Structure 1
Amino acid sequence: LQQSMEELAALYPQVKSVSVVPVGLTRHRQGLYPLRPYTEGEAQGVVDQVEAFAAQCLAEKGSRIFWCSDEFYLQAGRALPEDDFYEEYTQLENGVGMLRLLETELKGAVMTAPEEIPPVAPFSIATGVAAAPFLGEIIDRAAAKCHTKLDYSVYPVVNHFFGETITVAGLLTGQDLLAQLKGKHLGTRVLLPQNTLRHGETVFLDDMTVEELSQGLGVPVIPVEQDGFALFETIFGV
């Protein structure tokens, strides 16, 4: 990893930014070279190594250039870096800083919200296993600042379709969502990240539609953009 980072850093600014992301290992690996997910300690080592070299790049070149994905921080049990750490969020599409930006935007939505917000009907959120705890934390903080009590649940959905080691929301399927949410206390609606769907469509990776999932669960399923302002508006209705 160190050698690769040094070689890429030498190409700056032609190589402007690089994301370091744990390989996604599905359960469909028969006959392939044996690989395994990072342990917590190994993930911590990667984060430490990348952050140290990135700090050196910042001092020498004016940019960190290298960032670990949110998933690496979650696997390492580490707090996500602060907003300014990510500079221009150039690797956002690769999951670098996505959760921190979501929290920053959610805080911004709270600051511009009305002083009094009407009570919100019970609801639920379905997302990947990795981000579920963080999502619940930032929503609770937003509700507290708005002096609003929410009746909701965050359900981390295990990825049985691709394999339990896949913990990101973007690879969840309709059948896993249906199987694990059916019979749960869902409230009046289920929110889920827009990136669980194929780009520009209302279809999951296994060809189930949002409408079919809604019918199976008996409540509306509402995809929400990966945007804190959109999340706030969807939850609070303002």
Structure 2
Amino acid sequence: MNSNGLLITGVDPDSIAGELGIQPGDRLVAINDRPVQDILDYRFLCATEELVARVVTGQGEEWEIEIEKDYEEDLGLDFGEHSFGPTRRCQNRCLFCFVDQMAPRMRETLYIKDDDYRLSFWQGNFVTLTNVKEAELQRIIEQKLGPLYISVHTTNPELRCRMLNNRHAGKIMDQLTRLAGAGIEMQTQVVLCPGINDGKELVRTIEDLAGLWPAVHSLAVVPVGITKYREGLHDLRPFTREEARHLIELIEGYQRRFKVRWDDPFVFASDEFYVMAGKPIPPTENYGDFPQIENGVGLARLFLNEWETVEPDLPDRVEPDRTVTLVTGASGASFMNQVVERLNKVKGLRVNLEVVKNTFFGETVTVTGLLTAGDIIESLQDKEIGDLLVLPTVLLRNGEDLFLDDLRVCDVSEQLQVPVEVAEGPRDLVEAVLGIKQDANW
């Protein structure tokens, strides 16, 4: 955070700031004598009808500007990439950290460990709160920065200190209790490690966090991710099928109790646990208001729900005949198989499902979103792909066509000599498979 205020990168000419002559290159230093450290301060301090803004111009002049406006009216300032200043970095050394297991020689951003409560509020990033000081906790409360997404892992203070390798990690229940008392909504998660924070420790965590409902709105339990790059790291192993089944039984038991008590399931096992256990994806009512989709909780159910709306409209046949290949990871194969089976009942259409093994991170990593372009190319290079290759959008960096290994969709198309389309959800997928979409990367 910059003690000299926020650098202004853009001004809406029709706004209050534009009328006052504020320009890009000026700095917003304070509002009502309170420092403006980032865009959260700006938004909070602007929520008033009368204010005094202190601005330092690009020429070094200091202005104090009295402003009268509507309560929710914005000043019209843009701060671009400077909105938050430097990202708060993680001070933990978690024994299960996925970043520590990242393959070498990848793009720099994949090695960044952020732990910034501001980005938790702004973007939904999970944070541990171990680097949050008293003044920052007060700021969260004063500015009502919720919902926050918080990695709890365990509510046992001693165990949490060991798991995060941080002596400050044991304060979590005190922090959560204080935030809950102030009405801050929280979505929480546990990265579950066999023999460490499961069993009785997980029971304790569920019950402790449920005691803070409804401020603690949800708890997602996700399995530890283990890649082949673990040399010198803590000895961890994946869950067995039987362990995954026991875990689901435990969580579904709590869901039944919480739905009776609150009409809310509260705690959820991630989709990956159901795949591990070989159990069907639960019905919609088991996911409440789907509070943790981005955490892999309920994505499969939403996919299947959309598929059920699309499937009745499939044609009896396609002309001319088409052969299409779909790509998925091992975790997605269980529900993609039924989609492919139904598509293959359309006359003239042949759909192949390619379940790609993750050789880049190791075969214990089964989620589709962690497949690389290289693994897809290697898996398909000697196979008949057909007229089109369809990839799920979860393979790509958000808003871009970049895979984890820095290859692009056009690289896959060129290497495999086949048109490639990217599909988001069943309707998009069906349009691509039937040849309705016209934006192939070829």
Q: TM-score, structure 2 length as denominator?
A: 0.51
1:157-196 → structure 2 map (5 Å cutoff)? 157-196=356-395
Query: Which one-letter code corresponds to 1:165 in the other structure?
Result: T
- Please list, as runs of the form range in 1=range in 2, the aligned pairs for 1:75-154 lying within 5 A after superposition: 75-112=276-313, 118=319, 121-141=322-342, 144=345, 147-148=346-347, 150-154=349-353
RMSD: 1.8
* 2:134 corresponds to: none
2:236 pairs with 1:38: no
Q: 1:114 to 1:174 in 2, by over 3 A?
A: closer
Q: Write the distance in 2 (CA, Å) between the matches of 1:138 and 1:218.
A: 25
SS in 2 for 1:88: coil
| Aligned match for 2:400, one of 201, 205, 223 | 201
Letter in 1 for 2:342: R
Match among 5, 15, 19 for residue 220 of structure 2 = 19
**AA at the equivalent of 2:359:** H
Q: Which amino acid aligns with 2:390?
A: L
The answer (yes or no) to whether the contact 1:120–1:235 under 8 Å persists in 2 is no
Deviation readout 1:115-139 (Å, 9 max, x if unpaired): 7654651010111012123202123
- Work out the CA distance in 2 between the residues paired with 1:220 and 1:66: 42
Q: Would the alpha carbon gap of residues 149 and 136 (structure 1) be closer, same or farther in structure 2, given more than 3 Å must change? A: farther
- Larger relative contact order (C-alpha < 8 A, sep ≥ 6)? 1
TM-score (norm 1): 0.92
Measure the CA separation in 2 of the matches of 1:208 and 1:22.
28
Flag the structure with larger Rg: 2
Which structure has the highest strand share of the two?
2
Change (3 A) 1:139 1:153: closer
In structure 2, C-alpha distance between the alignment counterparts of 1:9 and 1:141, rounded to whole Å: 41
Match of 2:163 in 1: none
In structure 1, distance between residues paired with 2:258 and 2:297: 18
Distance 1:149 1:66, change over 3 A: farther
Corresponding position of 2:196: none
Aligned equivalent of 1:70: 271
Cα 1:149/1:41, change in 2 over 3 Å: farther
- Show structure 1 runs of 5+ residues with no match: none
- Counterpart for residue 431 of structure 2: 233
Structure 2 counterpart of 1:124, one-letter code = T
> In structure 1, how many angstroms separate the alpha carbons of the residues matched to 2:348 and 2:305?
21
The 1:120/1:50 distance shift into structure 2, 3 A limit, reads farther
- Partner deviation per Cα, 1:89-133 (whole Å, 9 max, x = no partner): 222111112122112111111334567654651010111012123
Distance 1:92 1:231 in 2: 20
3-state DSSP of counterpart to 1:43: helix
Which amino acid counterpart does residue 228 of structure 1 have in structure 2? P
Q: Give the fraction of aligned pairs with identical amino acids, expressed as a percent.
A: 37
Question: How many pairs align?
Answer: 235
Q: Which runs of 5 or more structure 2 residues have no equivalent in the other structure?
A: 1-201, 437-442
Structure holding more helix per residue: 1
1:43-88 deviation line (CA, Å, top 9, x unaligned): 0011111111111111111100111111100100111112232222
SS of the aligned residue for 2:325 comes to: strand
